[in-house]
């Protein structure tokens, strides 16, 4: 039933404020797995940015299955770095103090997952992942200027001043921050591919291109079943991105021959899948070496 819904003609959700759009998506879709949420959200999105948001929210739920139904965000980056040793945000007695510099959709988020250091003095850096709620005492969101890429998806700086939090079980780096990079890549790729499929269906793209996009979506569904930490999983994910890269020339031609509005949106936001390309390439290289597949 899900695949029939995904691949069939559908009326898109209108562009709304992010929290309202996500609530409308949930009302429209009902109970879904995280990847299904990403794909159907992308299929129903009016813009690539909203497709990205659906993929991001799906990834958060794959990372934290107990996540609330409302919009959330992951807060890791400090001074353009995600390395634990570079972080200054601290967890002490279930209170957070510090700052996160670049949080996607933070203004609209109801809950925020925050990576914070909690090691004893002199010990190696150690992270915990904690959850705080927007508007709670000690939690302040500072909006940042919109970016040329996906301007409909805001970013903000998070300020924490003795904010009471809940600590999630497990190591903050190994169980959450590190695997999220691959989890997010997969879910965003799936959401964007679903958006492209929907645009193609509405625009009369060649059937061969639509079939290749549907095949990419099927590959994403299988990839979601794999452990995101495993070397083989990084290789398979690399294969999915290589499959998408192989469609770029055909996609460019299809957009050029179709409605100008869709082409303008894709021209503006098509680089969204390149945001983490460097880190993804490094993970792929390590995985290839681990499996003795490197040249």
Could you give the domains of the chain? 2-63+175-290 (no CATH), 72-167 (2.40.110.10)
Are the beta carbons of 247 and 209 closer than 8 angstroms?
A: yes
> Is the pLDDT confidence value at 1 over 80?
no
pLDDT in tens, 167-219: 999 999 999 999 999 999 999 999 999 999 999 999 999 999 999 999 999 99
**Six token digits for residue 18:** 């992010």
pLDDT in tens, 221-238: 999 999 999 999 999 999
| Cα dihedral value 64, 67, 69, 70, nearest 10 | -100
Residues of the chain above pLDDT 90, percent: 97
| DSSP β-ladder status, 127-133 and 111-117 | antiparallel
pLDDT in tens, 23-73: 999 999 888 999 999 999 999 999 999 999 999 999 999 999 999 999 999
Distance CA 273, CA 251 (A): 14
pLDDT mean across residues, the chain? 96
Furthest-apart CA pair in the chain: how many Å? 62
pLDDT at 227: 95
Residue in this structure with the two tokens 């021959």, named with its chain if needed: 257
Extended beta strands in the chain, E state: 72-75, 90-92, 95-104, 111-117, 127-133, 139-143, 155-164, 166-167
Distance CA 245, CA 189 (A): 11
- Residue 2 makes CB contacts below 8 A (sequence gap 6+) with 32, 36, 40
Query: Residue 26 is inside which H or E element, if any?
Result: helix 18-29
pLDDT at 256: 97
Q: What is the DSSP track for 271-294?
A: GGGGTTHHHHHHHHHHHHHHTT--
Distance CA 256, CA 12 (A): 22
Q: For residue 34, how many C-alpha atoms fall within 13 Å in the half-sphere facing its CB?
A: 24
Distance CA 219, CA 216 (A): 5
pLDDT in tens, 80-128: 999 999 999 999 999 999 999 999 999 999 999 999 999 999 999 999 9
């Amino acid at each position: 039933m899900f695949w029939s819904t995904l691949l069939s003609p559908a009326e898109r959700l209108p562009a709304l404020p992010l929290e309202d759009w996500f609530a409308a998506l949930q009302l429209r879709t009902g109970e879904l797995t995280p990847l299904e949420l990403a794909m159907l959200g992308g299929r129903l999105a009016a813009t690539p940015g909203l497709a990205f948001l659906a993929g991001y929210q799906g990834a958060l739920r794959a990372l934290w299955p107990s996540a609330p139904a409302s919009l959330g965000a992951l807060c890791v980056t400090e001074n353009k770095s995600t390395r634990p040793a570079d972080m200054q945000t601290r967890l002490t007695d279930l209170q957070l103090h510090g700052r996160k510099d670049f949080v996607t959709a933070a203004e609209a988020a109801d809950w925020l997952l925050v990576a914070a250091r909690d090691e004893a003095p002199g010990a190696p850096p150690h992270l915990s992942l904690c959850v705080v709620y927007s508007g709670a005492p000690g939690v302040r969101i500072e909006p940042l200027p919109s970016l040329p890429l996906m301007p409909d998806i805001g970013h903000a700086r998070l300020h924490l001043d003795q904010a009471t939090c809940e600590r999630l079980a497990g190591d903050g780096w190994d169980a959450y921050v590190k695997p999220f990079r691959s989890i997010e890549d997969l879910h965003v790729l799936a959401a964007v591919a679903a958006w492209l499929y929907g645009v193609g269906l509405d625009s009369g793209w060649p059937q061969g291109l639509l079939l290749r996009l549907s095949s990419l979506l099927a590959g994403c569904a299988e990839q979601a079943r794999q452990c995101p930490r495993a070397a083989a999983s990084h290789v398979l994910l690399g294969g999915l991105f290589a499959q998408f890269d192989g469609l770029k020339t055909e996609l460019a031609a299809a957009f050029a021959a179709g409605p100008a509005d869709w082409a303008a949106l894709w021209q503006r936001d098509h680089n969204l899948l390149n945001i983490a390309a460097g880190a993804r390439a490094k993970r792929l290289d390590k995985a290839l070496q681990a499996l003795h597949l490197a040249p």
